[in-house]
Chains A and B, each alone.
Chain A
Amino acid sequence: MPPPIAMSAAAPARRPARAPGDLVIRIEGVTKLYRMGAETIHALRGVNLKIRRNEYLAVMGPSGSGKSTLMNMLGCLDTPSAGRYDFNGKDVARMVDDELAEIRNREIGFVFQTFNLLPRSDALHNVELPLVYAGVRPAARRERALGALRNVGLGDRIHHKPNEMSGGQRQRVAIARALVNHPSILLADEPTGNLDSRTGEEIMALFEDLYEQGHTIIVVTHEENIARHARRVVRLRDGLIESDGPVA
């Protein structure tokens, strides 16, 4: 079992950005319209974005900037009204529901602000869930879920239910669940939003570690000190990308 990962509350030592790899995400001229009664809301007005393998990216912006819409798009929970979205070279903009579910299952690991664990299932079964939907047999499923839980330092908590764990532990379970099917990207939506700052730092340290292991991480947040952990920050305003560059 690997030693527990960086539990230090101190600001992590900055390591240089790793060399980015192949293109994972290519978004070109993506717009998204919502109809709210008689009104049409332009959530995204033409966004261009490229994300490469082994990037650590923060998406920032005030509420109403289109941040959530972009996240849903990146997570293949939603499709653009217009524009092009290629994920690993596959055009997902025109995919139907079940095809998107397949992409989410294999390519995307979600980490939510509210953890979104199944309350009546223990940690192990929560982590197994994406593998259930991938059709992995029980024995292999258990093996992989155990590995993922050990990887986030919860090898001794596998039979705890969510309400028997602390917020930080729950988010670690969620991260293990996100990673268990070896996705191309880890997509985290305000991952520290429901945690105290100390626990939040622990989670960010875990992300740092995962990035070092070679994962591609996208964190959506409105907190500057969370975004600082990333290597690249994309700022949105009024449905457009305001700035896109390395962390200062």
Chain B
Amino acid sequence: MARLFQELVESVRIAFGQIRANGLRSVLTALGVIIGIVAVTLMGTAINGIDIGFNRSLAMLGEDVLYVQRWPWRRVEDWWSYVNRPALEVETAERLNRVIEATPGSLLEVAVPVATRGTSVRAGELRLAGVMLFGTTGDYARIVTTDVAEGRMFNAVEASVGRPVCVLGSAVAENLFPSGSALDQQVQIRGELYTVIGVLAKQGEFLGLFSFDNQIVAPLNTMRRQTGIRANLDLRVKVRDKTRLAAAEEELIGAMRRVRGQLPGERDNFSVNQQQAFKEQLDPVKAGIALAGLFITGLSLFVGAIGIMNITFVSVKERTKEIGTRKALGARRRTILLQFLIEAVSICLIGGLVGLGVTLAASLVLATLLPALPIAFSPGLMAVSVLVSILTGVVSGFAPAWGASRLDPVVALRYE
């Protein structure tokens, strides 16, 4: 044990002496590893960022909200069995809420009908198209994941009598009332005037597809009466305990079947969706992107590893006679193997640490220049890249070091 330790110390000493003696060569070899580690860690940072952005988007859907809809959030092969499902109505929500209230210890809190449609909105001279209009009841305040930044949400009375009031998403408010508060102003939706009673806090984009800030929430009854449009309606059901989401989903399915009067054995004529379903849909895509990205950047690290292997072979060749001398003085195979392995690992580790520094600097610069980019440089990533650089050294240094350890001392001593 003491011997192994002395040998290790000696090996580290040799390695650093060697790196110092062959300065330029060591720098060039390390450069390959530096580039490789920078590429891999930058990719890791990007993947991390995508993950964070993705989770942030999913959180907008609400972690404790189940969606009752006609269609599931996944691709369906047999679409014909879904198109004829009965539409969801406001009465469905009311009957569902009665079932929930009648269930002792229910995991569900409340079901809220939400009608969704795209519309344009006007305020004075300004007109905004492609806005999501949500028509809902007073219970919406209980399920919404966004805070109301200014003003308030409409209450149950306003909702049921159908008062012409609305709450604007932050982007809508900014665009229609750039110079002042939107509160108490009037907006025109499909020819009808609504009074703004609240503005939602900023949320951001959902998976980069559309903005959650580009929405207007109004009482469903107002929307119905004034525009007479049939909107696509679904139910959002708030769960009491988000750690028991699966059980809550079970209960919801049972409750919906009762509401619909479905017989045992009959297929559900509705779908219960949750953000988890999105995750399941998108996780393979995400994993694919990560895998492809890491593979491509891994190639550059591989090239760096080949450089290390090459230089270790050269180092062994150059010092064949020294290996012979060391063996004559009592160095064992293990000793020689360790010596060259540690030399390769040292270069890789130095390269890895420098590369990590470069990545850290680069991600800091990027984060300053593009604050919207979700960049995440995690300690885990640091640990992994240090580990990867050590591994690179071991893998690429092993073949030459093994060869050196097996050298016949007689042949090695005679080598000139």
Task: Spell out A's residues near B (CB within 8 Å).
Answer: 72, 75, 77-78, 97-98, 101-102, 104-106, 110, 112, 116, 118, 120-121, 129-130, 132-138, 177, 181
**Cα A214 to Cα B408 with chains together (Å):** 32
Contacts of A101 in B (CB 8 A): 327, 330-333
Known: A77-B410, A116-B321, A120-B17. A130 touches B330 (CB 8 A): yes
Query: Which chain B residue has the least Cβ–Cβ distance from A71?
Result: B410
Residue of B322, B330, B409, B413 contacting most chain A CB atoms (<10 Å): B330
Given contacts A101-B327, A133-B329, 6 further A-B contacts (CB under 8 A): A97-B332, A101-B333, A129-B326, A132-B7, A135-B3, A135-B4
Q: Are A177's CB and B410's CB within 8 A?
A: no
Query: Which chain A residue has the least Cβ–Cβ distance from B331?
Result: A133
The digit string for B298-337, where 1 denotes a CB below 8 A from any CB of A, is 0000000000000000000000011011111111111100
**Cα A181 to Cα B330 with chains together (Å):** 11
Q: What are 12 A-B contacts with C-beta separation under 8 Å?
A: A104-B330, A116-B321, A116-B322, A129-B329, A133-B6, A133-B329, A133-B335, A134-B3, A135-B2, A135-B4, A135-B6, A136-B6
Contacts of A97 in B (CB 8 A): 332-333
Q: Are B21's CB and A105's CB within 8 A?
A: no
**Cα A77 to Cα B412 with chains together (Å):** 11
Q: Are B322's CB and A118's CB within 8 A?
A: yes
Contact pick for B332, options A102, A118, A136, A177, CB 8 Å: A102
Contact pick for B329, options A110, A137, A138, CB 8 Å: A110
Contacts of A118 in B (CB 8 A): 322, 325
Q: Are A137's CB and B322's CB within 8 A?
A: no
Q: Are A106's CB and B6's CB within 8 A?
A: no
Q: B interface, how many residues as a size bin?
A: 20 to 34
Q: Are A106's CB and B333's CB within 8 A?
A: no
B250 within 8 A of partner (CB): no
Contacts of B2 in A (CB 8 A): 135, 137
Q: Are B328's CB and A132's CB within 8 A?
A: no
Contacts of B413 in A (CB 8 A): 77, 112, 116
**Cα A120 to Cα B410 with chains together (Å):** 23
Contacts of A75 in B (CB 8 A): 328
Contacts of B408 in A (CB 8 A): 78
Contact pick for A132, options B10, B324, B333, B409, CB 8 Å: B10
Query: Which chain A residue has the least Cβ–Cβ distance from B319?
Result: A118
Contacts of A138 in B (CB 8 A): 6
The digit string for B1-16, where 1 denotes a CB below 8 A from any CB of A, is 0111111001000000
Query: Which chain A residue has the least Cβ–Cβ distance from B2?
Result: A135
Q: Are A132's CB and B21's CB within 8 A?
A: no
Contacts of B333 in A (CB 8 A): 97-98, 101
Query: Which chain A residue has the least Cβ–Cβ distance from B329?
Result: A130
- Distance (whole angstroms) from the CB of A181 to the closest CB of chain B: 8
Q: Are B410's CB and A72's CB within 8 A?
A: yes
- Distance (whole angstroms) from the CB of B19 to the closest CB of chain A: 12
Contacts of B409 in A (CB 8 A): 77-78
Contact pick for A77, options B10, B21, B322, B328, CB 8 Å: B328
Contact pick for B6, options A98, A132, A177, CB 8 Å: A132
**Cα A137 to Cα B6 with chains together (Å):** 7
The digit string for B328-357, where 1 denotes a CB below 8 A from any CB of A, is 111111110000000000000000000000
Q: Are B7's CB and A133's CB within 8 A?
A: yes
- Distance (whole angstroms) from the CB of B18 to the closest CB of chain A: 8
**Cα A181 to Cα B7 with chains together (Å):** 16
**Cα A11 to Cα B207 with chains together (Å):** 94
Contacts of A134 in B (CB 8 A): 3, 330
Within 8 A of A (CB), among B14-29: 17, 21
Q: Are B330's CB and A106's CB within 8 A?
A: yes
Query: Which chain A residue has the least Cβ–Cβ distance from B4?
Result: A135
A-B CB proximity, top 8 nearest: A105-B330, A135-B3, A133-B330, A116-B325, A101-B332, A135-B2, A98-B332, A77-B409
Contact pick for B330, options A102, A116, A121, CB 8 Å: A102
**Cα A129 to Cα B325 with chains together (Å):** 10
Residue of A77, A98, A121, A138 contacting most chain B CB atoms (<10 Å): A77
- Distance (whole angstroms) from the CB of B214 to the closest CB of chain A: 69
Contacts of A137 in B (CB 8 A): 2, 6
Query: Which chain A residue has the least Cβ–Cβ distance from B10?
Result: A132
Contacts of B322 in A (CB 8 A): 116, 118
Query: Which chain A residue has the least Cβ–Cβ distance from B5?
Result: A135
**Cα A112 to Cα B333 with chains together (Å):** 21
Query: Which chain B residue has the least Cβ–Cβ distance from A131?
Result: B6
